[in-house]
Amino acid sequence: MFDFSVITHWIDATLRSWMPGGAALFVEFVLVGVALLLTYAVIALALIYAERKVCAFFQCRIGPNRVGPYGIIQSVADMFKMLIKELIEIKHVDKFLFNLAPYIVVVSSMLAFGCLPFGRGLQVIDFNIGIFFIMAVSSIGVVGILLAGWSSNNKFTLIGAMRSGAQMISYELSIGLSFLTVVIFAGTMQTSAIVEAQNSGWFLFRGHLPAVVAFIIYLVAGSAETNRGPFDLPEAESELTAGYHTEYSGIHFGFYYLAEYLNLFIVSGIATLLFLGGWMPLHIGGWEGFNQVMDYIPSVIWFFGKTAVVMFISMWFKWTFPRLRIDQLLRLEWKYLVPISLVNLFVMVLIVIFGLHF
């Protein structure tokens, strides 16, 4: 399987042969930042189109079909429309915090996005505490949402922000416990090491029942964490107009729109990383010929293919179940998911201590 670190090392060596080490490092930072931003935007546009098509399929409609073949350029047209829209000045708002909030949300999702191992040797951030770092930076986004609701000086946006804050902080517990279940099984928090540990089998299959339970809980909590249906109470249009971003327009609203879809990709990518082997191909013990054929498929295709499957499950989840009430939403987390996650974590500890896994 091709290792993309060959390309990155060649770029590094070429730049250092042309310029001093500090300047080469700065250019590399710029190149990585531009690559991440372009990938961020392209994935968001593709996901917006895919969401519309999947939604149309479940509702027996056609979906986007006018701009470009099969409507594939519709998202690009909407992006340009968003970019040229006027930024409306709202009276009686805290202008600094109002303008700052969208950038906090985008920066939070960008930092988590950079931690994903897109392929073998194709990863921007690879700390020895990578899972802890992902949890930390992904939690920053709730600050931007709370600031947006409060600084808008609107009771509907404030209610939406408070709902979102309560929801995201609550469901982060279940997500964190699911992370810990995998970390205990893998014995490391480094994302690249977690992927390498799944060389002989993905954790979803090797981790027995606790891994399956953690995966299901993570999918449910991840949908709630990204404010997607049926957990979209912060954006309940029948009650709150549009929720915490009611007063935003133009590119500022676009930031929230992009971050929502990128958070879907990030949640699905983390599920792929922790449970489905990341970029690691499907290997079956003893099937050497089958394993060699799987190794011919590029690692990037493996990662994006698995992530696409998880995203489809999340979209299926959204367009199947009705929206929950806020009390039902919080009861599900505190009375069911958290206790089940704690027991599941304890069972995984016993499995690792007594060596019951394979």
Calculate ∠ Cα 310-314-317, nearest 5°: 135
Over 90: is that where the pLDDT of 219 sits?
yes
Q: Residue 250: pLDDT band by 50, 70, 90 thresholds?
A: confident
Query: Is the separation of the CB atoms in 212 and 343 below 8 Å?
Result: no
What are 300's two structure tokens? 């990037």
- As a whole number of angstroms, the distance between CA 191 and CA 303 comes to 13
Average pLDDT over residues 180-198: 91
Terminal Cα-to-Cα distance of the chain (whole angstroms)? 25
Q: Identify any residues that bridge with 119 across adjacent strands, giving them in sequence order.
A: 122
Name the pTM for this structure: 0.91
CA dist 152 to 97, 169, 241, 245, Å?
9, 21, 14, 8
Over 80: is that where the pLDDT of 230 sits?
yes
Q: Identify any residues that bridge with 122 across adjacent strands, giving them in sequence order.
A: 119
User: How confident is the model at residue 346, as a pLDDT?
Assistant: 94
What are 311's two structure tokens? 């995203």
Domain residue spans in the chain? 89-353
Query: Is the separation of the CB atoms in 233 and 144 below 8 Å?
Result: no
Over 90: is that where the pLDDT of 178 sits?
yes
102-124 pLDDT per residue, tens: 999 999 998 999 889 998 888 88
Torsion, Cα of 170, 174, 176, 182 (10° steps): -170
* Helix, strand, coil share (%) of the chain residues, nearest 5: 70, 0, 25
Locate all alpha helices (DSSP H) within 226-337, ordered by sequence. 237-240, 250-275, 288-295, 299-318, 326-331
50-82 pLDDT per residue, tens: 999 999 998 889 888 888 888 889 988 988 888
User: How confident is the model at residue 22, as a pLDDT?
Assistant: 86
User: How confident is the model at residue 20, as a pLDDT?
Assistant: 87
- As a whole number of angstroms, the distance between CA 308 and CA 295 comes to 20
What are 155's two structure tokens? 């009771």
Q: How many CB atoms lie within 10 A of CB 328?
A: 12
Q: Residue 251: pLDDT band by 50, 70, 90 thresholds?
A: confident
User: How confident is the model at residue 357, as a pLDDT?
Assistant: 65
For residue 70, what is the DSSP state?
G
Taking alpha carbons only, the member of 311, 256, 303 closest to residue 105 is 256
Average pLDDT over residues 237-258: 78
Q: Average model confidence (pLDDT) for the chain?
A: 88
User: How confident is the model at residue 236, as a pLDDT?
Assistant: 64
Based on its alpha-carbon atoms, the radius of gyration of the chain, rounded to whole angstroms, reads 21
User: How confident is the model at residue 347, as a pLDDT?
Assistant: 93
Query: Is the separation of the CB atoms in 334 and 341 below 8 Å?
Result: no
What are 1's two structure tokens? 């399987």
